[in-house]
């Protein structure tokens, strides 16, 4: 099959980029945006402590919240981790609600670990402005060294703005022995960036079928050919122009 002059030029450039860049390429767009509009500092983790006090019957309850991404882009997944632990006593957690960032859809998955057991899937149900897991029986015992751990994974929506930061709305814990707590400021934060060239190429490849079985490498197609085709598709689609504007 004949190839247009433009595709041959881009394929050659792609091959050169593979050699010089170790199969990775960057236009430096992220750095330019960061320099022009620096996002406010945000923390991936936060912690709250309750007790020891009369309300906790002398126990100390600790609540931790974190997100696994320092920086990411729309369409990628992020996983939030909530850890509820206790020193002293035998507190029981009966429910745990989390409030995702504004504009986030329901979590694509949720996993729970408690009392030192193995992690397993659990259903997080809509509850007001967030999503809630509830114990089906007596609740989850939180003993020394055996915390309750909830991990929920979300897809970052297309409504996020590059250069901004994304912060969730905290958690609410239901339970006994003073471990119940409403913590809207127990947040985890990450920054939003523009998609890099590789992510844009992969996105276009998926949309155009280059990432499908028909678009895979064969005896008639090289890595540079396919990467060149994908880059041309990016250029022709206006994606790079949109990233630069």
Contact status, residue 194 vs residue 73, Cβ threshold 8 Å: yes
Mean pLDDT of 84-95: 93
The chain-wide mean pLDDT, for the chain, equals: 76
What are the E-state strand segments in the chain? 45-50, 60-67, 71-72, 77-87, 92-98, 109-113, 120-121, 125-127, 130-134, 140-141, 148-155, 165-167, 171-175, 181-183, 189-192
What is the dihedral angle through the alpha carbons of 106, 127, 146, 92, rounded to the nearest 10 degrees? Answer: -170
Does the pLDDT of residue 7 top 90, yes or no? no
Whether the CA torsion 217, 221, 223, 227 is positive or negative: it is negative
Tell me what pLDDT residue 138 has: 83
Tell me what pLDDT residue 5 has: 52
More confident residue, 233 or 148: 148
Shortest CA distance to 85 belongs to which of 57, 111, 114? 114
Q: What is the DSSP string of 93-160?
A: EEEEEE-PPTT----SEEEEE-TT---EE---EEETTEEEEE-SSS-EE-BTTB-EEEEEEEEPPTT-
Contact status, residue 93 vs residue 143, Cβ threshold 8 Å: no
Count of all residues that appear for the chain in the document: 245
Each residue's pLDDT tens digit, 156-165 = 999 999 999 9
Mean pLDDT of 38-58: 86
pLDDT band at residue 29 using 50, 70 and 90 as cut-offs: very low
pLDDT band at residue 144 using 50, 70 and 90 as cut-offs: confident
| Helices 223-237, 5-21: crossing angle, 10 deg rounding | 110
Phi/psi of residue 19, nearest 5 degrees: -70, -45
Each residue's pLDDT tens digit, 57-87 = 899 999 999 999 999 999 999 999 999 999 9
Does the pLDDT of residue 239 top 60, yes or no? no
């Amino acid at each position: 099959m004949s190839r247009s002059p433009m595709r041959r030029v881009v394929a050659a450039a792609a091959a050169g980029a593979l050699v010089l860049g170790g199969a990775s390429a960057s236009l430096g767009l992220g750095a330019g945006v960061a320099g022009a509009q620096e996002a406010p500092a945000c923390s991936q983790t936060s912690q709250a402590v309750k007790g020891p006090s009369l309300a906790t019957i002398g126990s100390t309850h600790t609540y931790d919240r974190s997100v696994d991404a320092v920086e990411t882009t729309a369409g990628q997944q992020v996983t939030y981790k909530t850890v509820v632990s206790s020193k002293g006593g035998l507190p029981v957690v009966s429910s745990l609600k989390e409030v995702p960032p504004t504009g986030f859809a329901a979590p694509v998955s949720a996993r729970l670990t408690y009392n030192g057991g193995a992690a397993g899937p659990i259903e997080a149900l809509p509850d007001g402005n967030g999503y809630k897991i509830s114990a089906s029986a007596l609740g989850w015992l939180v003993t020394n060294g055996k915390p309750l751990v909830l991990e929920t994974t979300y897809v970052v929506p297309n409504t996020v703005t590059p250069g901004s930061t994304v912060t969730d709305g905290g958690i609410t814990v239901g339970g006994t022995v003073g471990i119940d707590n409403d913590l809207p400021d127990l947040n985890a934060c990450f920054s939003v960036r523009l998609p890099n060239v590789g992510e844009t190429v992969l996105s276009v490849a998926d949309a155009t079928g280059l990432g499908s079985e028909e678009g895979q490498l064969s005896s008639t197609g090289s890595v540079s050919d396919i990467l060149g085709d994908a880059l041309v598709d990016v250029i022709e689609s206006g994606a790079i122009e949109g990233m630069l504007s």
